[in-house]
Amino acid sequence: MDAPNPSPIPPSPSQQLAKHAPVEGSDGFSSYLGQLTGNPFFTAGFGLAALATAARIGQKSLVQGASLLRRRMLVDIEITHRDHAYPWLLLWMTNFHRSQLAGAQQASQGGILSSLAQRINPRLHHLQVSTAQSESGSSRSAHFSFVPGHGQHILRYGSSFIFVDRQRQKSFDLSTGVPFETIRMTTLYSHRRVFERIFAEAHEMHQQLQEGKTVIYNSNGTEWKPFGEPKRKRPLQSIILERGVKERIVQDVEAFIEARTWYLDRGIPYRRGYLLYGPPGTGKSSFIQALAGHLDFNIAILNVSERGLHDDKLSHMLSRVPPRTIVLLEDIDVAFANRKKADADGYSGANVTFSGLLNALDGVASGEERIIFLTTNYVERLDEALIRPGRVDMTVRLGEATEYQIGELWDRFYAEFDGEGAGKKRFLAKVKQLGLTNTVSTAALQGLFLYNKDDPEGAIKMVQGLTAGHTRRTESHVELPGHVDVNDVK
């Protein structure tokens, strides 16, 4: 700006800001700075004193002056509810409010501007309750937090005053039914760097909250939305598969994650697909969730049998998976049942079709990077076309509990009561005698052990009860490439 510039065209505001505030690094925050630079702003020679004076002169002139000040010396930033940073910012404001309440006295030391701000709006005082319910087993808990409500607030952050305006629009997002919302934060132009700090803090806070947790995304309309609070990671050891099966899958996924640059250098789509099949209650879903936790990934779950999930939505969702997130498509056999319907009239209707599923898996619309797990209880309904590199690279059957799994599960529940393993031996003998090996699901066994928690003798006594409701192996044996059948693993 001070450089001699004969051109009559003044530098654009964003060029000016770029000079003042070089955008550093390639982290997410530079994009918020980008938003910031996109906002109209003007440099000014006025200082904070002008604001204070204007306030003292009277409300009328304050109102008149406000628009002038706004244009002259303020900078604002707007975040819409669709932005990833929106919930982080709400979280930050909630925590900030809490700490402000704790140190309410401090504000009075800040001199005239503090007391002015106190008088206008001492602190965030329109709060909104946000309730998250979580259900784990039979217990249900609710977590309440107070988030800054709609309306206008003034925050004092360090030496900066920030005017916060959270607005709810009258219009709704048609796909989710959620009203449009924005937060606009305004501060003095000379304090614009404060936004960078706030977003960095908000991001940090958000990350801390998720440490050791797995975020589970569900589809909400056409968006992935976190489902409840992030869940505590389920330890991988708590999943008991046949010897070696777990390790094989884990190694494969880890090798894939490590090979990222290899794929990208060669222009190969960086995708890997896994198919887990087998009867219900054999740990397919729980294993994938535990695996996500182990890899420090989040998980995005779509049920193909879900009502209203059609081809376009499926491929849209798969193209918008959040970063570091495993996709879990449950019950994919449903798509195969719908094959005819699409062939007949070309219209796929309200369900996912076979071709819709394949298109979503390898169509141009699907995201560049992806780890996807498919599950089904009915492998015989699937088609060989699914088994292609990038669609499904590895197929694993999780079957009914083998002797090894039964023993391991026993140890998980009763190791402390059955140090010598005598109870385990008797239990296994009884299981064998009743012909239950490879016929009951791990879930059914877990049920028995949970019922007889702390009581190994009770479990031994009740084991024949498993014969009544057990799931027998029904699917015909299908040979699929890359196939690991737990019964083949010695």
Residue ranges binding ligand ADP (CB under 6 A):
239-241, 280-286, 442-443, 446
**Region 368-387 residues binding Mg ion, contact defined as CB under 5 A:** none
Query: Is there a contact between 254 and 295 (Cβ–Cβ < 8 Å)?
Result: yes
Q: Which does 286 bind (CB under 5 to 8 A by kind): ligand ADP, Mg ion, none?
A: ligand ADP
Distance of CA 150 to the CA centre of its chain: 25
Kindly list the distances between the CA atom of residue 180 and the CA atoms of 81, 131, 169, 218, 457, in Å, as whole numbers in the listed order: 7, 20, 5, 20, 59
Complex with ligand ADP: residue 188 or 328, whichever CB lies closer: 328
Token pair 């394949």: residue: 358
CB of 420 to ligand ADP, least distance (A): 24
CB of 304 to Mg ion, least distance (A): 12
Tokens of 172: 């709704």
Residue from 30, 130, 46, 35 nearest 79 by CA: 35
* Residue 291 neighbours by CB distance under 10 Å: 24
CB of 215 to ligand ADP, least distance (A): 18
Binding mask 45-84 for Mg ion (x = CB under 5 A): ----------------------------------------
Tokens of 112: 């005239």
Does residue number 285 form part of the binding site for Mg ion (CB under 5 A)? yes
Q: Which does 240 bind (CB under 5 to 8 A by kind): ligand ADP, Mg ion, none?
A: ligand ADP
Tokens of 282: 């054999």
Complex with ligand ADP: residue 95 or 285, whichever CB lies closer: 285
Q: CA 436, CA 4: separation in Å to the nearest integer?
A: 89
Given the rule CB under 5 A, which of 108-116, 141-149, 227-235, 285-293 is the region that contacts Mg ion?
Answer: 285-293
Q: Is 173 left (phi over 0), alpha (psi -120 to 50) or beta?
A: beta
What's the CA angle centered on 480, arms 477 and 485, to 5 degrees?
60
Q: Which does 156 bind (CB under 5 to 8 A by kind): Mg ion, ligand ADP, none?
A: none
DSSP string over 334-399: HHHHTHHHHHHHS--TTS--HHHHHHHHHSTTS-SEEEEEEEES-GGG--GGG-STTT-SEEEE--
Given the rule CB under 5 A, which of 51-59, 104-112, 284-292, 407-415 is the region that contacts Mg ion?
Answer: 284-292
Backbone phi and psi for residue 377, each to the nearest 5 degrees, phi listed first: -95, -10
Kindly list the distances between the CA atom of residue 184 and the CA atoms of 77, 118, 126, in Å, as whole numbers in the listed order: 6, 20, 16
Q: Which does 281 bind (CB under 5 to 8 A by kind): Mg ion, ligand ADP, none?
A: ligand ADP
CB of 221 to ligand ADP, least distance (A): 25
Given the rule CB under 5 A, which of 82-90, 108-116, 278-286, 353-361 is the region that contacts Mg ion?
Answer: 278-286
Complex with ligand ADP: residue 103 or 137, whichever CB lies closer: 137
CB of 178 to ligand ADP, least distance (A): 30
Given the rule CB under 5 A, which of 13-21, 202-210, 281-289, 398-406 is the region that contacts Mg ion?
Answer: 281-289
Given the rule CB under 5 A, which of 110-118, 241-249, 283-291, 400-408 is the region that contacts Mg ion?
Answer: 283-291
Q: CA 334, CA 34: separation in Å to the nearest integer?
A: 44
CB of 290 to ligand ADP, least distance (A): 9
How many residues sit in the footprint of Mg ion (CB under 5 A)?
Answer: 2
Tokens of 278: 């087998």
Q: Which does 47 bind (CB under 5 to 8 A by kind): ligand ADP, Mg ion, none?
A: none
Q: Helix-strand-coil percent breakdown of the chain, rounded to 5? A: 45, 20, 35
CB of 457 to ligand ADP, least distance (A): 22
Rounded to 10 deg, the angle between the 85-102 and 193-210 helix axes is 100
Residue from 381, 351, 465, 460 nearest 414 by CA: 460
Query: Taking CB positions, which residue lies at the least distance from ligand ADP?
Result: 283
Q: CA 443, CA 239: separation in Å to the nearest integer?
A: 11
CB of 281 to Mg ion, least distance (A): 8
CB of 271 to ligand ADP, least distance (A): 23
Residue from 444, 442, 457 nearest 407 by CA: 442
Q: Which does 469 bind (CB under 5 to 8 A by kind): Mg ion, ligand ADP, none?
A: none
CB of 241 to ligand ADP, least distance (A): 5
Complex with ligand ADP: residue 186 or 282, whichever CB lies closer: 282
Does residue number 303 form part of the binding site for Mg ion (CB under 5 A)? no
Three-state DSSP at 64 gives: helix
Query: Taking CB positions, which residue lies at the least distance from Mg ion?
Result: 285
CB of 239 to ligand ADP, least distance (A): 4
Render the burial of 308-322: b for 16+ CB within 10 Å, e for the rest. ebbbebbbbbbeebb
Q: Which does 239 bind (CB under 5 to 8 A by kind): Mg ion, ligand ADP, none?
A: ligand ADP
Complex with ligand ADP: residue 239 or 304, whichever CB lies closer: 239
CB of 283 to ligand ADP, least distance (A): 3
Complex with ligand ADP: residue 35 or 286, whichever CB lies closer: 286
Complex with Mg ion: residue 128 or 285, whichever CB lies closer: 285
Q: Any alpha helices (H) in 181-310, and if so which ranges?
A: 193-210, 245-258, 260-265, 284-295
Which stretches of the chain bind Mg ion, using CB under 5 A? Answer: 284-285
